[in-house]
């Protein structure tokens, strides 16, 4: 090969190498590692759940699974049941009116694969293999921090906790509703529900805020349902329903936060003007009456026929629909003048329809969650 040919070939190779280097230093093509990272980053976001956990979720969530205390209920309140791709196994037991959302969505949920046990413990009772098969974008759970971490590790699917307190409208309910709404893009619906809650709380308070304690009837709520059915002595110290209407709760004890079993002799000493009992637990109360009728007959509320129903509102979390209906009903009993314009049937219809999209009030009555006077021992 001549020297001139060698020089020409060297120049050609040098030029080719230069072009190659320039090409490698240009912007990455689609499918490069940098492009994939950018795409991945744009498709996910970080959300902080109610426990303070930072969870990476898809920007657009199209499918969810709801497990544990309050999560399925919140999905119903946020009108998001069409996003749910798995159900809790208790659904197989049939329609359960004690969970307000169940009658509305039971027929849909029973057709879905069972992905967890359900309940209000806050512990991880999900079925990891079934959840992975259902492949939701996000798991929304009423779990505590450790349980949420555990299920996320078991499935590789983001778990967002919306666990909240019980009662009429605890602050944690507001936070949980907003977190859930943020996850599924239902922020407007979440704020609508919370605005409605605020309006009811304001209305309840305003009606009775000017009534002096000396003009109030003293009330006792017994036979409540708290982690199971309770007899006459099962009551609440801090009772949001009475607090909302500024009622006097004879069982209030500053050293006790919520439910407790009170000594029956204390109720005799308090001798409340009005008694409210869970109609679902009246068999327990009637058994107690049969064993000691003189005890109950000595209470002035029993003597004067001032014993009324207050249906259970806690079942795997709080049925906020039932809790607010209870508050308005208690208002009509304890403050008849201030609540004279309230028809409990109409108010119940309004509350149920606003939260659930359907009026299930007749089903409540048929299922034993009814309002009215009752007689202990019958």
User: Domains of the chain (ranges plus CATH)?
Assistant: 39-193 (3.40.50.1980), 211-366 (3.40.50.1980)
3-state SS track over 192-226: HHHHHHHHHHHHHHHHHCCCCHHHCCEEEEECCEC
* pLDDT for residue 91 is more than 80: yes
Rounded to an integer, the average pLDDT of 167-174 is: 89
Count the neighbouring beta carbons within 10 Å of the beta carbon of residue 148.
29
pLDDT-derived band at 16 (thresholds 50, 70, 90) equals very low
Residue 33: in which H helix or E strand, if any?
Answer: helix 33-43
Lowest mean pLDDT among 25-39, 165-179, 313-327: 25-39
The Cα–Cα gap between 60 and 82 comes to 15
* pLDDT at residue 36 in the model: 26
* pLDDT at residue 351 in the model: 99
Average pLDDT of the chain to the nearest whole number: 90
* pLDDT for residue 39 is more than 60: no
* pLDDT at residue 15 in the model: 41
Task: Map residue 34 onto helix, strand or coil.
Answer: helix
* pLDDT at residue 135 in the model: 98
- Bridge partners (DSSP) of residue 309 are 277
Extract the runs of DSSP E, i.e. beta strands, from the chain: 44-48, 54-58, 64-68, 87-88, 114-116, 138-142, 159-161, 218-222, 234-236, 248-249, 259-261, 274-277, 307-309
More confident residue, 313 or 30: 313
Rounded to an integer, the average pLDDT of 318-341 is: 98
The Cα–Cα gap between 304 and 77 comes to 40
Q: What are the tens digits of pLDDT across the range 246-267?
A: 999 999 998 888 899 999 999 9
Rounded to an integer, the average pLDDT of 137-155 is: 97
* pLDDT at residue 19 in the model: 37
* pLDDT for residue 30 is more than 80: no
């Amino acid at each position: 090969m001549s020297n001139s040919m060698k020089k020409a070939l060297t120049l050609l190779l040098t030029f080719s190498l230069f072009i190659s280097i320039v090409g490698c230093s240009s912007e990455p093509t689609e499918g490069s590692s940098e492009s994939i990272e950018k795409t991945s980053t744009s498709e996910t976001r970080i959300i902080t759940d109610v426990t303070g956990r930072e969870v990476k979720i898809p920007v657009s969530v199209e499918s969810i699974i709801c497990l544990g205390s309050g999560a399925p209920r919140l999905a119903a309140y946020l009108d998001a049941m069409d996003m749910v791709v798995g159900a809790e196994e208790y659904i197989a037991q049939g329609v359960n009116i004690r969970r307000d959302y169940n009658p509305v969505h039971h027929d849909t949920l029973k057709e879905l694969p069972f992905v967890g046990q359900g309940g209000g413990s806050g512990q991880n009772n999900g079925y990891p293999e079934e959840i992975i098969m259902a492949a939701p974008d996000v798991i929304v759970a009423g779990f505590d921090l450790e349980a949420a971490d555990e299920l996320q590790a078991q499935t590789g699917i983001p778990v967002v906790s919306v666990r909240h307190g019980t009662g009429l409208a605890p602050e944690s309910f507001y936070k949980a509703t907003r977190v859930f709404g943020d996850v599924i893009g239902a922020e407007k619906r979440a704020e609508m529900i919370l605005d409605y809650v605020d309006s009811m709380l304001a209305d309840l308070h305003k009606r009775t805020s000017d009534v002096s304690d000396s003009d109030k009837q003293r009330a006792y709520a017994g036979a409540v349902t708290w982690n199971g059915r309770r007899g006459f002595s099962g009551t609440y110290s801090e009772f949001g329903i009475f607090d909302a209407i500024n009622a006097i709760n004879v069982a209030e004890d500053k050293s006790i936060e919520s439910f407790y079993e009170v000594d029956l002799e204390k109720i005799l000493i308090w001798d409340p003007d009005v008694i409210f009992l869970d109609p679902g637990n009246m068999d327990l109360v009637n058994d107690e009456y049969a064993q000691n009728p003189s005890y109950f007959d000595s209470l002035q509320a029993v003597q004067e026929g001032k014993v009324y129903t207050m249906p259970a509102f806690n079942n795997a979390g709080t049925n906020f629909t039932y809790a607010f209906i209870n508050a308005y009903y208690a208002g009509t009993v304890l403050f008849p003048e201030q609540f004279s314009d309230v028809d409990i049937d109409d108010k119940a219809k309004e509350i149920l329809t606003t939260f659930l999209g359907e009026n299930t009030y007749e089903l409540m009555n048929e299922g034993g969650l009814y309002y009215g006077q009752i007689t202990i021992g019958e």
